[in-house]
Amino acid sequence: MSIAAVASFGGAASGTLLEAFAYETVKSGGVADDTSVGSGAAQFVYAGGLASSTLIGPGREAFVLSDGTMQSASIQFGGFLSVSSGGASNMVVSAGGMELISAGAFVVSTTLLAGGAIDLDTVVFASGGSVTLGATTNTLSMTENGVVTQVSLAGSYQDMFFQLSVDADGSTIVTAERMSCLCRGTLIRTECGDVAVSETPMGRMHWLQQASLRVGSRSLCSVWSRPSVRQW
């Protein structure tokens, strides 16, 4: 990689475009604003440095290291943000984007759009774990092997749910998913034959082209379906 910009000791970089194989370092006292990280490029934020409004797109990376700070970044499809130390706030993770949180990192007010994900780097995945969102606090709580891990979220999740999966290194990934609505009376093919969706019991499996859904009722006039990791 080649250096594209360095902000440190009271210096500032604004509107920097990082092209392929370039990188930007933000060190103590430095500020980088509105950096756009190009394909194959990267941004590094170190202790005392501040990066604001970074755009992290496909195949692009940003790293918050050694007590650096990042605010209001946008992580798009294929983008990756690693917060290994220091703090990050007001991140927005779009579908296909990933925010990785390590032990010792302080991350608050992340907005997960449908398909966006958080990788809890030090939380070992356990089959049968659960994930819930506090109705009034927007705190996401993951419970695995009796251990509870919490992440502070921002945004609205009224028509969404969260799914746990395992990363290649065995850590836990939590992904926001959008619920699917089926109109009352719609016939669905279940393990017991074709049944009106409004009469399908909670937890019963039904067929899709590629994946199965668990169906549960949310109100008298609508039924929502949740993806399952099981294929059948």
User: pLDDT tier at 173 (50, 70, 90 boundaries)?
Assistant: very high
Least confident span in 7-21, 75-89, 97-111, 204-218: 204-218
Gap between the Cα atoms of 63 and 82, Å rounded: 5
Q: Supply the pLDDT for residue 179.
A: 76
Record the tokens describing residue 205, joined without a space: 């499996």
User: What are the extents of the domains in the chain?
Assistant: 2-178, 180-227
Q: Supply the pLDDT for residue 222.
A: 32
* pLDDT tens sequence across 180-222: 666 677 777 776 778 776 776 655 555 554 343 444 433 323 3
- Name which residue leads in pLDDT, 229 or 115: 115
Q: Are 177 and 165 in contact (CB under 8 A)?
A: no
Strands (DSSP E) found in 138-191: 139-144, 147-152, 160-166, 171-178, 180-183, 187-190
pTM, two decimal places: 0.77
* pLDDT tens sequence across 28-46: 889 999 999 988 899 999 9
Q: Supply the pLDDT for residue 4.
A: 52
Gap between the Cα atoms of 203 and 223, Å rounded: 12
Average pLDDT over residues 66-84: 95
Provide the residue count of the chain.
Answer: 232
Record the tokens describing residue 210, joined without a space: 């590629």
Q: Are 174 and 150 in contact (CB under 8 A)?
A: no
| Sign, Cα dihedral of 206, 212, 218, 221 | negative
